[in-house]
């Protein structure tokens, strides 16, 4: 079955702009999580969505937001981009529910802010 | 607070030597522990989870609740094992959560 698909793969944006990243989870998976990966900070949790509801949010400013659609696809948005937002943004899906089965990750979107 | 500690940022061993990547966690409940691996230019992928008690690519990991550890081991390292390894703690508290360690970059020297 198809894996987790993230689009686009690469993005270059200018400071102050906003960006939207997309994630299509594995079919049947209802939980989608987003992570920011940087060499210095490693994998930092952004948020988790389940059945269109944000259940958990990490310690990121309000410029970072997301949503999930009825087909479980998810988007994250970063407004007023800063240079420090340059990172690999990873999406992960899992069946969700009450147990933790581990996640399947996408290839990520590499965002460069100039 | 829930935390995962991987004390070694870098680990270098020779081909054929044993490998042990250390992972300690902090969690008061019943944890789900995972090892993820990221090979160069590839996506982060699940290597193994403690609940399945399986061996993947020759790697094993045993959960030691007394020492709150979940070290990853392989008796004979191979060059293709060179990668970034992340230990992760999973739990459910109203929402699904997965907390990662900082990762260990493993290099296998020929």
Q: What are the Cα distances from residue A8, in Å, to A21, A51, B30?
A: 7, 23, 37
- Residues A10-65: pLDDT tens digits? 999 999 999 999 999 999 999 999 999 998 889 999 999 999 999 889 999 999 99
Å between A72 CA and nearest CA of chain B: 15
What is the enclosing helix (H) or strand (E) of A34? strand A31-38
More confident residue, B88 or A102: B88
DSSP A85: G
> A104 and B95: CB-CB below 8 Å?
no
* Whole-number Å distance between alpha carbons of B89 and A61: 24
Chain B residue closest in CA terms to A45: B99
Å between B28 CA and nearest CA of chain A: 16
> A100 and B94: CB-CB below 8 Å?
no
pLDDT at B84 (0 to 100):
96
Return the closest-CA partner of residue B25 out of B65, B75, B81.
Answer: B65
pLDDT(A95) > 60: yes
pLDDT at A108 (0 to 100):
96
What are the two backbone dihedrals, phi and then psi, of residue A33, each rounded to the nearest 5 degrees? -120, 150
Query: B17 CB near a chain A CB, below 8 Å?
Result: no
pLDDT in 10s for each residue of chain B, 110 residues: 789 999 999 999 999 999 999 999 999 888 889 999 999 989 999 898 887 777 789 999 988 989 999 999 999 999 999 999 999 998 877 777 889 999 999 999 99
Residue of B86, B91, B103 with shortest CB distance to A100: B91
pLDDT at A63 (0 to 100):
97
Size of interface A-B (CB pairs under 8 A): 59
Residue of A33, A42, A96 with shortest CB distance to B103: A42
Please give the mean pLDDT across all residues of chain A.
92
* Whole-number Å distance between alpha carbons of B86 and B74: 15
> A45 and B98: CB-CB below 8 Å?
yes
């Amino acid at each position: 079955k198809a894996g987790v698909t993230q689009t686009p793969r690469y993005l270059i944006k200018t400071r102050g702009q906003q960006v939207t990243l997309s994630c299509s989870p594995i079919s049947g998976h209802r939980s989608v999580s987003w992570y920011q990966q940087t060499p210095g900070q490693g994998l930092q949790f952004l948020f988790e969505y389940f059945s269109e509801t944000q259940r958990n949010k990490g310690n990121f400013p309000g410029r970072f937001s997301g949503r999930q659609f009825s087909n479980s696809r998810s988007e994250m948005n970063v407004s007023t981009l800063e240079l420090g937002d340059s990172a690999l943004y990873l999406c992960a899906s899992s069946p969700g529910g009450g147990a933790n089965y581990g996640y399947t990750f996408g290839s990520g979107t590499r965002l460069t802010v100039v | 607070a829930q935390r995962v500690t991987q004390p070694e940022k870098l680990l270098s061993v020779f081909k054929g030597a044993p490998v042990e990547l250390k992972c300690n966690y902090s969690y008061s409940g019943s944890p789900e522990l995972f090892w993820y691996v990221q090979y160069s230019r590839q996506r982060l992928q699940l290597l193994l989870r403690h609940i399945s008690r399986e061996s993947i690519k020759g790697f094993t990991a045993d959960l030691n609740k007394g020492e709150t550890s979940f070290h990853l081991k392989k008796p004979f390292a191979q060059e293709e094992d060179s990668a970034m390894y992340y230990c992760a703690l999973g739990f459910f508290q109203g929402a699904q959560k997965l907390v990662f360690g900082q990762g260990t970059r493993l290099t296998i020297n020929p």
